[in-house]
Structure 1
């Protein structure tokens, strides 16, 4: 396979671990000459960057603030990206740039790898793009589940509710500050920014619950430590990051992702991240 290139786009993007994961995959796959870089790009700049992309570019990973803009500039989009209302991947095709979303796969596969069942009562904390991806990870399947979204301002959950509607996933919305909602959940998926859930770490969680916290550094978060102290299974956001990147590698290279090589690289870059 001739050398190709890819990159992660976003602003700021210097903190992104995508280069660590994708470069590790290229080495393990023997893709000599393949390059993966990080490019600063804001929403108004995305369309122009795509137009100027060199012919050897196979795709882009897209982080904040581009995830909704991805759908506006792409010539086509996967059903998942369309339903979620955001994308994190752009792939070059003969018909133009194609948008996809692998964040939901990252959540789904991280929970599955930890043998955490997606059933019963699930609380999703937050209403941003990661929360929308979490709804896609919860949609479908045969296990019965009740999904509740906990947000600071229920009036700001319109985009999340639109995602739920497109996924045909019944959800209810409740205040984030209601501790009864936290404690009633069998699974908590926290998509809040670093530090935003720290004040809830004092709640009396139990070992019948489980947590996926999208934050991965510093790890463990106070919330993750509280769940672990209660004997509850805890999944780090690093695992979610790993599995979403693995799917991107597959989409961009056409080869099965070398997950263990990518995991080792992630652990070396972020010691203690619990990938």
Structure 2
């Protein structure tokens, strides 16, 4: 039985196994805000598929309180997902950090170890999977909106996909310089472009900013394909609606959310049982 209770009542989504004899597994998401996250429902379906008793909780936490919250949850939780605006801040409170998370300066998945939290970044690998894998965009030109923490993972994924040119559209050249310094592989030409100047045709546009979720973006999109890293629980993002209205192929962040969730399950449990992907896809189709 899968119990999906209202966040206002219990702030958690729980699966109780029929036997009810195994130790309760606790997972959760850390961020601000977290009230619209679909992660609790996705991982509740994973518990059901694994026949494991578990609970996935929302932990709305400010930057000022993230250290205290992580210390409090370390003894009770197997793992955590991390969302904005805490992906960079959590690194200061982790005992170990993967090479990729260190390179990107951000983590979105934590695993509880005896010594403390272990930090990993599945944003980059997850997006590479969404794009189609290594060399799937060979020779293409991609415009990335934004130069924040999410854009670091986007650039890593685009380089892995074989992009020839990546245009970073942001308001500050300083933000671009920081992003450029994080791009250590130098597999693609990284260029700065002013925010809103997306008039030159590209093969793909990826929105890594929070904008476009509830409101249209006041920019001209000249690309056959749009990927918006944002998502809304029960409807498409405004950017996707805006793009589809002019005949573009648009995809919101649900596909990336699924890939991130599967990679997190692998880190937490050490395996991905047959059928788990299909089970975890169900909440994204409602």
TM range (shorter): 0.7 to 0.9
- The partner residue of 2:154 within 131, 134, 140 is 134
Q: CA deviation at 1:51?
A: 2.4
Determine whether 1:210 maps to 2:225. Answer: yes
Q: 1:197 to 1:82 in 2, by over 3 A?
A: farther
Counterpart in the other structure of 1:234: 250
Provide, for residues 160-196 of structure 1, a one-character-per-residue CA deviation record: whole Å limited to 9, x for no partner.
Answer: 22222x343541111122233xx42111111122336
Counterpart in the other structure of 2:54: 34
- The partner residue of 2:267 within 251, 256, 262 is 251
Counterpart in the other structure of 2:137: 117
The answer to whether the 8 A contact 1:120-1:146 is kept is yes
Q: Determine the C-alpha separation between the residues in 1 that align with 2:231 and 2:155.
A: 20
Matches within 5 A, 1:57-96: 57-96=77-116
Q: Determine the C-alpha separation between the residues in 2 that align with 1:49 and 1:222.
A: 33
Report which structure shows greater RCO (CA 8 Å, sep ≥6): 1
Aligned residues: 258
- The partner residue of 2:201 within 165, 181, 184 is 184
Structure 1 runs (4+) greater than 6 angstroms displaced:
none
Higher helix share: 1
Determine whether 1:156 maps to 2:171. Answer: no
Gaps in structure 2 of 5+ consecutive residues: 1-21
The answer to whether the 8 A contact 2:148-2:179 is kept is yes
Q: 1:216 to 1:40 in 2, by over 3 A?
A: closer
Matches within 5 A, 1:38-57: 38-53=58-73, 55-57=75-77
Q: Determine the C-alpha separation between the residues in 2 that align with 1:38 and 1:204.
A: 35
TM-score (norm 2): 0.80
Matches within 5 A, 1:164-175: 164=183, 166-169=184-187, 170-175=189-194
